[in-house]
Amino acid sequence: MLSLDLVVCGRAFVNGEIKYSEIGIADGKISIVKSSISGGERRIDIPGGVIFPGFVDPHVHFRDPGMTEKEDFLSGTLAAVHGGVTCILDMPNTVPPVTDVNSLLEKKSRVKGRAHTDYGLFAAVTPGCNAGMMAPFVPGFKLFMGSTTGKILLNDEDEIRSALTDISRTGKRISVHAEDDNMIGRETERNCRDHLRNRLVEAEINALRRLSRFKGMRINICHNTNAESVDMANDLGFTTEVALHHLFFEPDKHSSSEYKVNPPIRNAAVRDRLYGSFINGKISMFGSDHAPHTLSDKSKDFDSAPSGIPGVETTIPIVMNMVRKNTISLAQAVSMGSEVPASSFGMKKGKIEEGYDADISVFDTRKFTNISVRKLHSKAGQSPYDGWEAVFPELVIVGGEIQVDGGEFCGDTVGKDVYGKP
């Protein structure tokens, strides 16, 4: 008889449909999925809600090391798991940035044993970076074509070509902040309309044009803000991310520094066309672009306030509320939130299937609530989604270990580096 550590029973999203399933877990993996399983050291029956594969956030900034007053791995992954996210991929613009093997090793050593979710650490695309040495130990590489937090901008044509050609040989995906820095203005800003004036949509579109010579390469375009960029990326065979703030906010109604982000929120007409691309299934995945600036940071005058919006804990609960309202389907939520980010970055996650990691999130869409900043777990202490309707998870399991039960945290730092250690 198969020895199982845990069996989770209930209505589950399996092979694209919801059906009663019993999910047997052993050694952190899903060992068996059947309509009936005998045995198991522990059994959990899910009386309401649906059992989903754990969600993956492919784009977070946990600021660890160097800016841990904003966020560290403990607080960031605690926020993630409360949002139903069981794996995060962290960006390299920390202090110091992850640009070589030494800085990668140092960051791995620092965060080991301090995560409530599984994780991967991106490396930055820099001139002459040793992609071959770092590739086995990172989910991918991050190229910043536009200025943002950190000083790892790479916008020179020859350097981009050399670096991307080198990385392509490793088979790793390259996530791109696609704004052409040559087209970004530097005029004083007083509100989000001014910020938009400095970072026009044309900068984003031109960055895609410049990437067109890499057609078919494993490239992911982060935080798309407009439908034209999405269409261009799809035509080039790239994957695409969207952050909720670009789907919901626009500068005439949301003008304060709370909504300041790079690339910026666009005007209503551009936003609405992007929303249409999203609803029509043209965008590959969600990425929160979680940027946990503190309330005091965001309270500075607009020009001095940092760019970025926190979202790792609220993205999937808001998505699940969209499912509740029949705005999108369960299948689209799982595809964009779990299946595609997992497969795009080479993880055996994102499906309730034998051999996959035992990462599970249970959501009951009958139990919706309003987001309260006071109850969120990020150090940011602020969120533009305060008061929004959301559906938070009832149960979250990471690698076969229960982290959230009945909506309450009961876990430990069980998260593992999915990409190993050099």
Measured CA to CA, the distance from residue 329 to residue 336 in angstroms comes to 11
Largest CA distance in the chain: 69
How is residue 337 annotated by DSSP? I
Classify residue 407 as left (phi > 0), alpha (psi -120 to 50) or beta.
left
In residues, how long is the chain? 422
Within 10 A of 159 (CB to CB), how many other CB atoms are there? 14
Q: How many helices (H) and strands (E) does the chain have?
A: 13, 20
How is residue 214 annotated by DSSP? G
Beta bridge partners of 360: 53, 397
* Residue in the block written with tokens 């989910």: 139
CA angle in degrees (0–180, nearest 5) for 28-34-36: 110
How is residue 141 annotated by DSSP? E
Structure tokens given for 284: 């590959």
CA angle in degrees (0–180, nearest 5) for 188-303-123: 110
Are 277 and 248 in contact by the 8 Å Cβ rule? The answer is no
Given 90, 118, 181, 289, the catalytic residue = 289
Whether 181 is catalytic is: no
Write phi, then psi, for 400 (nearest 5 degrees).
85, 0
Q: Which residues are catalytic?
A: 289
